[in-house]
Structure 1
C-alpha cells in the first residue's frame, strides 16, 4: 500500500520538530517522492549521516510502504 505524503512529513517532523519539510509526489502513485528536509539537527553531520537520520525517522517504511525517496538535506 502506498504511503501518503502527509504521513512522511509527520514522521520526519516528529524526529525533527524544527525542520522545514517539503514533500513532492514525483509520479502521482504514492510510491515515489522527493523530500527536502532542513534542520539544525544536521549541523556538523555529513550528508550520509543526515540521510541516515531521516531514514531512521521513517521507522522502517523505506523499501516497504515507501518505495523511493529522493532526499535532500541541509542546515538552516
Structure 2
C-alpha cells in the first residue's frame, strides 16, 4: 500500500467516525485486484468496508449503506470508484 493509499484510508476512517458512532471499522483497499479496470485508470480505488455502528439499529441494508455513502461522498467518484460495504 502506498503512502497516498494509506492517507486515503485514514481520511475515510475519520469521515466515518465523524458521521457515525463506530463500534468496529476495517477498511481494505482492493484496488490492486482491479488493475486495468476502467474505473481504476484515473486513480479511483476499490474498497471493502466492514463497519459496525449503533446507528444501524432498525435500519435495512439500503439505509445502512446510504449512511456510509453519505459519509464518504466527498471522495466519490474521484478517489472511490467502488465500495463493498459489510454492515452489522
Determine if the TM-score, normalized by the shorter chain, exceeds 0.5. yes
Higher helix proportion: 2
Aligned to 1:5: 9
Instruction: Calculate the TM-score normalised by the size of structure 2.
Output: 0.71
Aligned match for 1:58, one of 69, 72, 82: 72
The structural deviation recorded for 1:68 is 1.2
CA deviation digits over 1:26-68, x for unaligned, max 9? 1347611110110010000000000001101113322222111
Whole-Å separation in 1 of the counterparts to 2:71 and 2:59: 16
Q: What 5-or-longer segments of structure 1 have no aligned partner? A: none
Over 4 Å off, 4+ runs: none
Aligned match for 1:15, one of 16, 19, 23: 19
Whole-Å separation in 1 of the counterparts to 2:24 and 2:10: 14
Equivalent residue of 1:19, what SS? strand
Whole-Å separation in 2 of the counterparts to 1:50 and 1:66: 18
Number of residue-to-residue matches in the alignment: 74
